[in-house]
């Protein structure tokens, strides 16, 4: 069964460093998403991406965040200068159509120290 794959599963980084979280969505999917879940809290939408551009972003997705689909298979989330409060689980998701089931990856746990 096709699945969304995220790497790494866990990343530890120092405050102020740049991190790139990687995702490989399901191959025939057209819509891609990043979500964040701070420990013990709800899952929060960050950004959606379609047709090689951001289609929607939340207020959380400020200038320190960026997304890219560099090669037609990977979908990355970059955090330019990490802060302690960026520590969270980051989920990538994809779907074929906006209103169909979004398949989630297993998440990347980011710890900023």
Partner 1 sequence: AQTVTQSQPEMSVQEAETVTLSCTYDTSESDYYLFWYKQPPSRQMILVIRQEAYKQQNATENRFSVNFQKAAKSFSLKISDSQLGDAAMYFCACGSRLTFGEGTQLTVNP
Interface positions with partner 1 (CB under 8 A) = 33, 35, 37, 41-45, 48, 56, 89, 91, 93, 98-99, 101-104, 106-107
- CA distances to 30, 62, 64, 85 from 17, in Å: 31, 16, 11, 13
For partner 1, which is the closer residue by CB, 18 or 56? 56
**What is the CA angle 49-70-72, rounded to 5?**
75
For partner 1, which is the closer residue by CB, 91 or 112? 91
For partner 1, which is the closer residue by CB, 49 or 82? 49
Q: How far is the CB of 52 from partner 1 (least distance, A)?
A: 18
Q: What are phi and psi of 89, to 5 degrees?
A: -95, 130
């Amino acid at each position: 069964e096709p699945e969304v794959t995220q790497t790494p599963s866990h990343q530890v980084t120092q405050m102020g460093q740049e991190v790139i979280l990687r995702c490989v969505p399901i191959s025939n999917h057209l819509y891609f998403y990043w979500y964040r879940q701070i420990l013990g809290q709800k899952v929060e939408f960050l950004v959606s991406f379609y047709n090689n551009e951001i289609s929607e972003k939340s207020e959380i997705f400020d200038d320190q965040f960026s997304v890219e689909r560099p090669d037609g298979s990977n979908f990355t989330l970059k955090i330019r200068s990490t802060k302690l409060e960026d520590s969270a689980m980051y989920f990538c998701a994809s779907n074929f159509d906006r209103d169909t089931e979004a398949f989630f990856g297993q998440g990347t746990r980011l710890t900023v120290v």
